[in-house]
Amino acid sequence: MAAARIDSRRMGEMPEGKLLLTMAVPMILSMLVQALYNVVDSIYVARVSEDCLSALSLAFPAQNVMIGLATGTGVGVSTLVSRALGRQDQREASRIAGTAIFLSLCCWLLMVLFGLFGVGSFIRAQTRVESIRSYADAYLRIVTIGSLFVYLEVCMQRLLQSTGMTHLSMWTQMIGAVTNIILDPFFIYGWLGLPAMGTAGAAIATVIGQATGALCGVLFHLRLNRELPLYLRDIRAHGQIIASIYRIGFPSILMMVIGSLTNYLMNIILGAFTSTAVAVYGVYFKIQSFFFMPVFGINNGLIPIIGYNYGARKKERIYRTIRFGVLYACCFMFLGLFLFHLIPQVLLGIFSPSAVMLDIGVKALRRISLSFLFAGFCIVAGSTCQALDRSVNSLCVSILRQVVALIPSAWLLSRTGDVNMVWWSFPIAEIVSLVASAFFLRSALRGMERTLATPPED
């Protein structure tokens, strides 16, 4: 137990730059593997047909909501557990962990209902092409009904991260992703006598990979995460804890929902030109994940560090952590900008593009990637607000970026009749996000200073 306390206490003592890298690098590696499996999924499916690739793009908004419920709940759980451990309140941390398991089961039941009754209408609203509808419907039904393992896997990752055991969180995600990558061709193409199932096969491989990752996460937590024991009696609804989790995490969930709505509307706007533009949009999201996922890995390391030091009332450590977070995030985003401009044909070429898809895609990658100039700062600012219990600030930025700026500008640019003009809406929206993020981060930090200036209650 003493060793476990030392492991979490390092978040209040280790130099901030080194600590953030120590926390973030395992998560960056696991998220890069996650990004790789998403790309490999699409590469395999693209070799079946472009319609299959477009189908994954249409399924993505709903799948993003599913992930958003998991990660948003996880943000609240991770923040609360880190604060409880910062106060040396292990019993409260255990109750939070039990509540997290209960909420994972509730989220899964919601997605099962959608998978059974809502998928068909969701897909039909985005396309009139029957083959694309069929592929997307098959994929989305399987991943939503089998989403129990997503919620358990993410829950276990957050509990491990909260106590500084990011290397185990990394292995949980990497094992699940590698399992998916290995199984994909067997189910998609029908290797070793299995039936060739196309997008349905990709979904089955995804669910099996998630189940493997979830099992590893549960085993790692029960056997090795001694600082945060999980008791069966705590796996129930603790009303006050649930309210606290979603006070922090709900804005993050709502941001993902808004992002999914944005993707849904962008699919409709682009689909009015051609389904190839929809495929390009989906491919962009796959490629950009190699640069955004590391930034999210930095954020996953940054949130518990800020949460711990907020609970421990160490203001200067919080400021230094934020500065290192912005520096590391911007490095990844500038690398993405460079590659998107220098070798867009190479990046698109791995998805077996047609000549039309390549022509649209090169312009799309170069124009959209201009938004990377500002995205690193905006993402770190949003996570800092969440860690400081100002999640509503992040929500406001997301609404301004996507609802006020991105979709209206995309629709207006689409009225030119040129699909390539639509891509300019991304850098336009990111400039709006930059201004709002700077304003709300400053507000959150001032609120933190006022709170920490007040003597703690006995």
Structure-block tokens of residue 296: 């999210």
Task: Quickly state the pLDDT bin for 420 (edges 50, 70, 90).
Answer: very high
- Cα-based distances in Å from 276 to 263, 360, 418: 15, 8, 14
Q: Given this model, what pLDDT does residue 182 score?
A: 94
Cα(241)–Cα(116) distance, rounded to whole angstroms? 30
How far is it, in rounded angstroms, from Cα 292 to Cα 171? Answer: 20
- Tens digits of residue pLDDT in 349-364: 999 899 999 999 999 9
pLDDT, tens digit, for every residue of 260-318? 999 999 999 999 999 999 999 999 988 998 899 889 888 878 888 888 888 788 888 88
Residue 4 is predicted with a pLDDT of: 40
Distance CA 79, CA 310 (A): 10
CA atoms within 13 A on the CB side of 8: 31
Q: What's the confidence (pLDDT) of residue 361?
A: 96
Residues in the chain: 458
Give residue for tokens 């472009």. Answer: 50
* Selection from 384, 262, 248, 389 nearest residue 323 by Cα: 384
The alpha carbon of 263 is separated from its chain's Cα centroid by a whole number of angstroms, namely 14
Cα gap 169→160, rounded to integer Å: 6
Using CA atoms, how far apart are residues 188 and 408, in angstroms rounded to an integer? 38
Residue 267 CA to residue 338 CA, distance in Å, equals 26
Give the separation between CA 42 and CA 188, rounded to whole angstroms: 11
What number of other Cβ atoms are within 10 A of residue 366's Cβ?
A: 15
Rounded CA separation 77/172 (Å): 18
Segments of 295-420 assigned E as strands? none
Query: CB 454: neighbour CB atoms within 10 A?
Result: 8
